[in-house]
């Protein structure tokens, strides 16, 4: 299966963002990609106020656009993430990644579990002020592609290996990471984390990132969208700090061979991990 990761620089204008993304998705499909992944907040980016103004339900304009494009091109399309209208009583949005099938059907919606509440070089980000955390992992077989089972994640999730192990144990062979990964941490951590998740869980990892200066309220983004194989080899990477496409062929037989020769999933010892769900001493919310 050929797969592609799209790199964008989103702004506050949804129509302009979707038009730019459509051109890149078409470029990827023309190159033979059957699975295409867009970045986090590809449809609208900015302050919490901008996200709230641009929030929509899953039958809203962005997912409808993605469904039509997937059906037109006959591809599986991961609509990176969109700000989804509140689903709970506290009024917070969801940061939601959607998988559209080749007939335009909405196959899955993953809501970001790990929220970006950090302080970087004196600048604080509190995603949880605007976004409610998701609670469910998301794993979806890709019909028509033997051995391809998609696990979905978003950006900051990549720092939490527990989620990726759950995805692998539930059958994922390909994991998508739409992201707006910061330029402050990206040079040291982005490639390292993507390759670590690929190697430890023996999956293909597709990291699709925003790049450059986004609107106020969003960090400068690292880009470097890339595709990593289960051996940790970077199959494709966009080093140019501009919007574009990276693509690679995912060898499912090769993945099965890696898992048979180096059976780390089978060699797990769950009894030794019994404290994994308990906070470590000194770690508080």
Residues marked active site are found at 40, 112, 155
Q: How far is CA 128 from the centre of its chain?
A: 18
> For 125-177, what is the HEC assignment?
EEHHHCECCCCCCCEEECCCCCCCEEEECCHHHHHCHHHHHHHHHCCCCEEEE
Give which of 244, 219, 178, 208 is closest to 45, Cα–Cα: 219
CA–CA distance, 148 with 235 (Å, rounded to integer): 17
DSSP string, 6-60: EEB---S-HHHHHHHHHHHHHHHHHTT-SEEEPPTT-S--SSHHHHHHH-B-TTS
């Amino acid at each position: 299966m050929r797969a592609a990761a799209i790199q964008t620089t989103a702004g506050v204008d949804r129509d302009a963002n979707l038009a730019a993304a459509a051109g890149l998705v078409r470029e990827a499909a023309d190159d033979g990609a059957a699975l295409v992944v867009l970045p986090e907040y590809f449809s609208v980016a900015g302050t919490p106020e901008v996200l709230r103004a641009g929030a929509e339900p899953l039958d809203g304009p962005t997912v409808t656009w993605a469904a039509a494009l997937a059906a037109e091109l006959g591809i599986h399309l991961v609509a990176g993430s969109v700000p989804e209208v509140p689903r709970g009583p506290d009024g917070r949005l969801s940061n939601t990644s959607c998988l559209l099938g080749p007939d335009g059907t909405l196959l899955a919606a993953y809501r970001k579990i790990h929220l970006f509440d950090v302080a970087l070089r004196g600048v604080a980000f509190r995603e949880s002020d605007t976004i409610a955390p998701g609670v469910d992992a998301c794993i979806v077989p890709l019909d028509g592609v033997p051995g391809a089972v998609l696990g979905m994640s978003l950006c900051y999730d990549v720092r939490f290996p527990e989620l990726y192990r759950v995805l692998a144990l539930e059958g994922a062979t390909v994991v998508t990471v739409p992201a707006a990964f910061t330029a402050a941490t990206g040079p040291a951590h982005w490639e390292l984390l993507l390759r670590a998740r690929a190697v430890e869980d023996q999956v293909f990892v597709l990291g699709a990132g925003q790049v450059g200066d986004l609107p106020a309220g969003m960090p400068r983004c690292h880009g470097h969208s890339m595709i990593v194989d289960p051996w940790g080899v970077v199959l494709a990477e966009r080093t140019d700090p501009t919007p574009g496409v990276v693509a690679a062929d995912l060898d499912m037989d090769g993945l099965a061979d890696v898992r048979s020769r180096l059976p780390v999933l089978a060699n797990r010892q769950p009894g030794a991990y019994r404290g994994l769900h308990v906070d470590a001493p000194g770690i508080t919310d």
